[in-house]
Structure formats: C-alpha cells, structure tokens
Amino acid sequence: MDKQPLSSPERASHDQIMRQYELLSAASPVADLLHAMAAPVLLLNPAWQIVFANDRVLEHFPTPDLNSILGQRPGELLDCTHTAARHACCDLPLVCPLCGILRALQQAQQGVAAVEDCRLLRANGKALNLRVRATPITCLDIPLIVFTCLDIAEEKCRELLTQTFFHDIGNSVGIIRGATELLLTEKEREIKEKLRQMLLRAIRWLLQDVGMLQALLTAENGELQPRYEALDARALLQDLAELYATHQAAKDKHIHLRPEAEAVILWSDPRLLARVLGNLLKNALEATLPGGTVTLYCARVGDAVEFQVHNQAVMPPEVQAQIFQRAFSTKGSGRGIGAYSVKLLTEQYLHGTVCFQSQAGLGTIFTVTYPLIPD
C-alpha cells in the first residue's frame, strides 16, 4: 500500500488513484454507507484528489460517471473559476486564500475536522453558496478526507435580504435623525414645514421597510413580490435629493440634480427603486469629501430609463473588482451590503441592470437601467 504524507502538495498518479478507488469500492460496508447518505460525499486523498464519491455526487453535478471525476479536486468538480485547470501557474488553489473550501481542507490536512461556508464563482458566471465539511479519517490504512458540501443558497439569500433591509432601515433612521435635529433649530416657517414633510415621508418609508422585513421573515420562500405603479423618474430623484440632504453622510456636501434630467414615466416598485437609488446616493455621499458634490441624472434610453449617480472619488482596482460581492466593504465589518443590494434588487426583482465606471478624470458613475414597462 502506497501512503502519502498528509501535507504532500503533489498530485497522486492515475495508477495510485485507481488502486485506492478499487480498494475502497471493494470494501462494501464503506461503499454502502457512503451511498446511503443523502448528501454528496467525496473521499479525498492527501493531495485533495477524489478517490471515491457516493451516488449523490453524480446526481448533483453534471458528470457522466465516477471514473470521469476520479483524480479531480473539489474546485475542479464544482467548476470553480479559480481552479488549477485555469491557472497553470498554480497547482494548488492558493489563488483563493480566503476560500472556505481551501480553509476546510487545510484544517483537515492538519488532522482537525472543519466546517466552512463558501461562495464559489463558477466558470459559467453563476455562483454557488456552499457549506463544506472536511473530516480526516484513516480507512484501510489510507489517509483520507471525508468532504461533504451542502447547497445553502436559500439560507444565504434569506440572510442577505434580511441584512439588506436592516441596512436600509438604518438609512431611514439616519434621515429621520438629521431632519429632526434641523427641525429643532430651524426658525424659518417655510423650511420647518419642508422638514416636517420630509420627516413624515422618511417615517413612512421606515414603516414600509419594517413591514417588508416582517413579510420576508414569515414568508415560506423568502421572496419579494414587487408592486408596480407608475413613477416619475425625475420626481423620484428630486425626492431622494431632498430627503438625503438631511442625512449624516451629506454633512458639508451637496446633492445636485442635473437640470436636463428627464421626467420619464416608468412602471416599477417605488419602495424597491427608492431603496436602490437611495443606497447609491448614500454610498456616493460617503465617498465624497467635504465641499464635494454628488450629481443625479435620469433619461429615457429607448424603451428603458437610465439613472446615474456620480461622485468625484475613484475606487481602487481591488475595490472595483469586488464592489458587488456580498458583505464586501472598505468601511469595516458588518458594512458593504449597500452595493450588493443594489445589484440584487435591480437584477432579481426589478428586471434591470447595474454597471459602473470609475477612473481618474471621470470619478465614479453608477448606472442602473430599468424597462419602462417590465415584462
């Protein structure tokens, strides 16, 4: 029997893998036990290569038979965009030091069972949300890692939407706080009346957010149901500009709605659309230096309406590469949900698209585009 040290980074040969597979297949209690399990289970050798898999693996992944995946690593089976097959400069998946799969395998390699959550981007552009478990064992004198993975996409989506609503509730609370502080010190009657109206509007938004969160938490599937109505794009931006002018993030900064912004009528969910544009506006204000300006614009483009939020700051390349990732933030732990929620709500619920430009001389422009009438 050929043994490998658990820390070996070298791939085993095809002959070695086949010998191990044949030994494990012949041990009927082991094979029968693994095939009886409801979750996909892989047995990995010390080089993290598949030497056995249960029937659930063949059901969950597009592979014709077990022989076609023997010798692969988990990332290769899952079609991860960062696998060694696509990065000839790296045999092990060290290009992903924060990957949950890699962390779990490294701990198992050291003799410690590990459970990690992992968001994996596949080569087809789709993402997987997985909970992986790696447990070191010895079977038939072969050092192995039992590797299981569960799809937790629904759980993560529910968690994400909950975080999104708490984030947006925080935005509404910030507006209420700012408007209240100004109302207490303002002397001019006309301005005080505007602040009262702004405060009432923000409170209504806050109550709507709480109601939507309650519905989300009690819904069986956790999905939002947009409620469409006719909206004036320019009027919505004007309301947001006035509302966020009282936000803490707008202190010593300016919000400018371009005069040529068009009064385009579209059908959309006013709460979700206001949440998207409000998040973009708040993020732009936070990136703007005191004395700076955030510019808003909207226009009809064919059968769609395009909204733009611009500020003069330029995002570093590493920030641009991850800006729409869940929980990515340059502001610290627990932040960074805003940009992700923009993409989530725009693309999954409002039938729109989102993109951005960020470069010297231009600043940063986020553009969200929605059909005038959703399909």
Q: Kindly report the three-state secondary structure assignment for every residue of the chain.
A: CCCCCCCCCCCCCHHHHHHHHHHHHHCHHHHHHHHHCCCCEEEECCCCCEEEECHHHHHHCCCCCHHHCCCCCHHHHCCECCCHHHCCCCCCCCCCCCCHHHHHHHHHHCCCCEEEEEEEEECCCCEEEEEEEEEEEEECCEEEEEEEEEECHHHHHHHHHHHHHHHHHHHHHHHHHHHHHHHHHCCCHHHHHHHHHHHHHHHHHHHHHHHHHHHHHHCCCCCCCCCCEEEEHHHHHHHHHHHHCCCHHHCCCEEEECCCCCCCEEEECHHHHHHHHHHHHHHHHHHCCCCCEEEEEEEEECCEEEEEEEECCCCCHHHHHHCCCCCCCCCCCCCCHHHHHHHHHHHHCCCCEEEEEEECCCEEEEEEEEECCCC
Amino acid at 34: L
Q: Is the CB of residue 282 less than 8 Å from the CB of residue 244?
A: yes
Domain coordinates of the chain in residue numbers?
A: 14-151, 155-371
pLDDT (tens digit per residue) in 272-315: 898 889 889 988 999 999 999 999 999 999 999 999 999 999 98
Taking the C-alpha atoms of residue 111 and residue 306, their distance in angstroms, rounded to an integer, is 54
Q: Give the residue from 347, 351, 186 showing the smallest Cα distance to 268.
A: 351
83-121 pLDDT, tens digit per residue, is: 644 443 334 443 456 678 888 999 998 999 999 988 777
Long-range contacts of 320-324 (CB under 8 A, 24+ apart): 320/356, 320/358, 323/356, 324/354
The position carrying tokens 């965009």 is 81
Which of the residues in the chain have pLDDT under 70? 1-9, 62, 64, 83-98, 125-126, 154, 156-158, 160-161, 163-164, 167-168, 208-209, 211-224, 322, 325-338
Looking at residue 222, what is its pLDDT?
A: 46
Distance CA 242, CA 247 (A): 10
Q: So what's the pLDDT on residue 98?
A: 61
**Whole-number pLDDT of residue 337:** 57
CA 181 to the chain's CA centroid: 35
CA distances from 263 to 237, 250, 268 (A): 10, 25, 15
Residue 256 CB-half CA count within 13 A: 13
- Report the C-alpha gap between 262 and 255 in whole angstroms: 17
Q: Report the C-alpha gap between 119 and 326 in whole angstroms.
A: 9
Domain made up of 155-371: CATH architecture: 2-Layer Sandwich (3.30)
Right CATH for 14-151 from 3.40.50.2000, 3.40.50.1100, 3.40.50.720, 3.30.450.20: 3.30.450.20
**8 Å CB contact between 291 and 306:** no
- Which of 41, 24, 35, 36 shows the shortest CA–CA distance to 140? 24
